[in-house]
A and B are shown apart, each in its own frame.
Chain A
Amino acid sequence: MSDALLQAFAEVLGRPDIWAIVLASACYGIFVGAVPGLTATMAVALFVPIAYWMDPVGALAAIVTMVACAIFSGDLPTVYLRIPGTPASAAYADDAYRLTRQGKAQRLLCLALTSSIAGGIIGAVLLMVLGSQLARVARLFSVTEYFWLYLLGLSCAVLVASGGSRVKAVLSLVLGLLLSTVGLSAVHIEPRFTFGIPALYQGISFIPAMIGLFGLAEVFSNLCVMSAAAESVTGDSEVAATGERWSLLEDARQRLTRHKGGVGRSSLLGVLIGMLPGAGADIAAWVALAASRRARADQDDDEQMMQSVADATTANSAALAGGWIPTLVFGIPGDSVTAIVIGVLLMKNVTPGPVIFAEQPALVYSIYLIFILANVVMFPIGLLAIRLGARIVRIPRQILLPLIVLFCITGSYALNSSMFDVTTMLVMGVLGFLLSRSEMPAGPVVLGLVLGGPLEERLIQSLSASEGSLAGLISRPLSLALALLTAAVFCGIVLAEVRDRRSGRQTT
């Protein structure tokens, strides 16, 4: 046991080439994550041909680092420009950008960076200590449990909505779910809302949709304001000299130590959600955001927003480690990244699954160490990226906006090399603009788009397993428990809404 650990230390920390790989892939990850349209999965997929020439530890080091960095750097365009760099940042795009408008961009990003690192490290520790136990839990989830879990995930969009905007959040969510039914239904293999356009068969891909709903819509809103008032600087007005930066970091550190409970809760949520195949960093961010809102309902608005964004970034980083749990223990991918990792490992003649712990314990320890190392390396590089990002936002608006448009177009094209995705992006941009004018949140639309397909699929799978009887949805103990939890959350939302309306009526 300790031999393997020592060997792992020597393999990871003692090799200069591993350090070089980690540094290079951190920069690469930051870059890919910051480009809207390129996801963490894409970063890894592009890397696969290179991984072929590396040894297993090197390849794993590169993958773990680039994904951790990509998930953090997805926050950069989210905060600076309101374009989520990766789907994992979509949950808090609106909140984050509101803080940016108050000139708190750098403060928020420093907090996001430290929270991501905290989440990543706690996630890695949970992976080490509880990995195989948690994997037993993940194993229990059948399609029925996923159905209830996805319903719970959807309710988060409403939970994060404050006060009177609940109905609007539900409307946005329904819109997103409806958009997700466009295309060839996975279970029926029947086209819906395609109007005979072949390109619509694959449905509305949510990454271009996300870029449009947030990025392009924001450009349109800015353009409206610009034509009214010639110049309006909404970007980052916070002065950030070197001395200031340290105070921002100090502020982030204090916040983290003050809210230990929040960090712990979000990390645990992140790992638990991340370890379930079919739920990843994006859903983890939503759930943590909702949990954070509930826990901090009494605090003042901005402070609460800052903390809940921090909690969400903690959770999406912790979810990455969670994704490795079923991968290592059963060889079942926890998310799309670990699916590629399994491929890479098989290519290296390493079979993930129960045997890996017995036969190659050193490799398993190396993975744990790499997780820690990746999160440590992310700190300086992340700070650098925050600083570079701040420069970009200082470019005058009339130059910046067309550049953002071009970036949105190229990013949405890049995903599938399809002009149709650019069209999707444009249509969603207009939709997002209309939504923001009627003060409906765009986040739930994205959540609906992401979860709509799997939710319907799981429902129909559960029903066909029980041969059409609704009792099949609650026949297993775990599914019954999740169903009761879902029902409680739904009732809670309705009760809160009724109470708010009543108190609103009394005051007016």
Chain B
Amino acid sequence: MEVDAVVQECCVARQCGPGQPRFAVCASCAMIRHVVIVRAQVVACDSSVQNRKSLHGANEQMGNLCRLAICVLFMGMVSGCDRSSDWPVRPVTLVCPWSAGGGTDRVSRQIAVQLEAELGVPVNVINATGGGGVTGHTRGAIAAADGYTLQMATVELNMLHWRGLCPITPRSYRPLAKLNEDSAAIFVRADAPWQTIQELETALREATSSVPVSGSAAGSIWHLALAGWLMERELSPDATNWISINGSAPALQELLAGGIEVVCCSIPEAAALLHGGEVRCLGVMSQERCPAAPEVPTFVEQGVEWSVGGWRGLMYPPGVPEDRVERMSAAIRRVAESAEFTQFMDDAGFNISLVYGQEFAEFLAEADAGFGAILTQPAMQQQQQAPLSAWFVPVLLIGIGVVMLGVSGVSRRSVAEVSTEGSGAESLRIPLLFCGSIVVFILACQTVGYVLSSMALLGVQFWLLRVGVLKLVLFVVLAVPALYQVFSAVLGVPLPWGMLGW
């Protein structure tokens, strides 16, 4: 049978009627698949088929050799046909670089729900947090370019590389669509003496010691927005003292507690406190007023030519096939322009700003240059100095540890007696073999796939513990697919796919 015919039939079979099985899977261009053709008879070919060429060869002998449907077992785990016209067939992963519950996470989850309906496959959000966005932004850029990993990128993409934290820049991605842009704004406590941005500026000029301010970590977009404003008005960088607090919510809490005087963050982040009258917004750093808080004047209105904001957008790793990029872009465009998404963004107070493809890439290049100009300023570098060196705490801890070891050494003798007591008959052989099997699992899982490698792991461990063959097979065959279904289908956790597609 010709390869293309196989593919063709396979795709036909996928749209088959209710009477026929729905588990047809064909060889994809790049990946190795078990092949099942469903028509009058079921033809199953060996899963060791490596690529189209060997598929062709294997097909000739296959007719007689493996007509039996070994695939019954696979049924219900997989369905799909990996041909470009029929892409996507697997769950799509959406990488969110910030933690669950934050603004970016909420936008990601909304996009995921709507994309799922658009694409017809599950879209799972994973929160790859840590390192001030380094982890998350690296994850999407180095993902396989098969179009199944989508990255929610944020403004930090423009900033991390300038601060020398990671080599990832906007050029490490294929930008698809910018979804929103939130401008920075300046907040003070409701009982603070300043009513306008000029009054605050005068106060900063006249202050004898530097005023404590925050909004997020040092070097974040809000830090940069504030520093840029000071630079624009030619204030000394020492006028303010940026306290590095992780996130805008704890910074606002610190503002209420009186630890800092000014917070710089976006309006949606402070919406609850702003509407509750606990904080006052002196101005928003944008050209137009923010729809979520139309009573707040812009900086431009108050005579300060300074606007800056954070953006969120969707990106692909470079090298994704063009037809998949088009398919995904079209789906994203439909989602982003839907009434449902607009409603969601309005309700959450996020400012929609849609820019697609090439235009988005140009926006990113421009923003990158602008941020670079500020971030490389000596004033900005200076402000990132912390009062304690990064190694102060680890060294202190090692010191305490050594002292404690010394103290415990005094009473060590009694301990040694206790611990040697029952350990004579114990053996470390099986625990070590278990460790070894887990190491092999970790190394193999990404290429072999979750189901197969878990089956192997479980089988080996049962065997080590001398479980009977029948029980072994029974538990392996029942437990692994069940666990896979629970995590993958019910909880939406994307488990490694591997060679066989599952």
**Interface on A for B, CB 8 Å cutoff?**
32, 38, 41-42, 44-46, 48-49, 52, 139-145, 164, 167-168, 170-171, 174-175, 177-178, 181, 183-190, 192-193, 198, 201-203, 205, 219-220, 223-229, 277-278, 326, 330-333, 336-337, 339-340, 342-343, 346-349, 351-355, 398-399, 401-403, 405-407, 409-410, 413-414, 416-419, 422-423, 426, 429-430, 433, 437-439, 456-457, 459-461, 463-465, 467-468, 501
Contacts and interface: CB of A to CB of B under 8 A. Distances in A.
A364 to B, nearest CB: 14
Given A347-B106, A410-B487, A437-B419, A399 B462 contact: yes
Contacts of B442: 419, 422-423, 426
B386 A460 contact: yes
Contacts of B398: 178
Interface residues of B, number: 115
B188 to A, nearest CB: 16
Contact of B245 (A143, A144, A331, A433): A143
B404 A167 contact: yes
Contact of B386 (A32, A44, A168, A187): A187
Given A409-B438, A426-B435, A463 B388 contact: yes
B410 to A, nearest CB: 9
Contacts of A186: 132, 217, 244, 246
A402 B495 contact: no
A187 B405 contact: no
Interface in B398-432: 398, 400-401, 404-405, 407-408, 411, 415, 418-419, 423, 425-431
Query: Could you say which of B110, B268, B276, B347 has the most chain A C-beta atoms within 10 Å of its C-beta?
Result: B276
B457 A426 contact: no
Contacts of B491: 32, 38, 46, 414
A398 B462 contact: yes
B197 interface: no
Contacts of A185: 390
A201 to B, nearest CB: 4
Given A181-B397, A351-B272, A402-B458, 10 more contacts: A44-B100, A46-B492, A186-B132, A189-B163, A202-B135, A331-B273, A343-B102, A351-B275, A417-B494, A422-B445
Contacts of B480: 406
B128 A171 contact: no
Contacts of A437: 419, 423
A461 B254 CA distance: 11
A405 B461 contact: yes
B465 A402 contact: yes
A49 B340 CA distance: 13
Interface string B235-254: 00000010111100110111
A188 B408 contact: no
B101 A340 contact: yes
Given A167-B408, A178-B394, A426 B401 contact: no
Nearest to A458: B245
A198 B461 CA distance: 31
A187 B241 contact: no
B265 to A, nearest CB: 13
B60 to A, nearest CB: 39
B79 interface: no
A323 to B, nearest CB: 12
B427 A48 contact: no
B483 interface: yes
Contacts of A464: 241, 243-244, 386-387
Contacts of B338: none
Contacts of A417: 93, 126, 128, 493-494
B126 A416 contact: yes
Given A414-B491, A460-B388, A184 B130 contact: yes
Interface stretch (B70-78, B255-263, B305-313, B357-365): B255-263
Given A226-B430, A330-B256, A398-B466, A439 B109 contact: no
A399 B471 contact: yes
CB-based closest 5 A-B pairs: A331-B272, A202-B130, A353-B276, A142-B259, A402-B461
Nearest to A468: B387
Given A188-B386, A351-B272, A460 B471 contact: no
B105 A399 contact: no
Interface in B484-499: 487, 491-496
A347 B345 CA distance: 8
Contact of A178 (B105, B401, B419, B434): B401
Given A184-B131, A406-B483, A224 B407 contact: no
Nearest to A422: B442
B386 A347 contact: no
A475 B494 CA distance: 50
B212 interface: yes
B100 A139 contact: no
A339 B272 CA distance: 12
Contacts of B134: 184, 198, 201-202
Contacts of B435: 220, 426, 429-430
Interface string B446-469: 100000001001100110011100
B364 to A, nearest CB: 22
A278 B250 contact: yes
B487 to A, nearest CB: 6
Given A187-B218, A343-B101, A171 B404 contact: yes
Contacts of A332: 249, 252-253, 256, 272-273
Contacts of A352: 272
A45 B401 contact: no
B372 interface: no
A183 B100 contact: no
B439 interface: yes
B435 to A, nearest CB: 7
B349 interface: yes
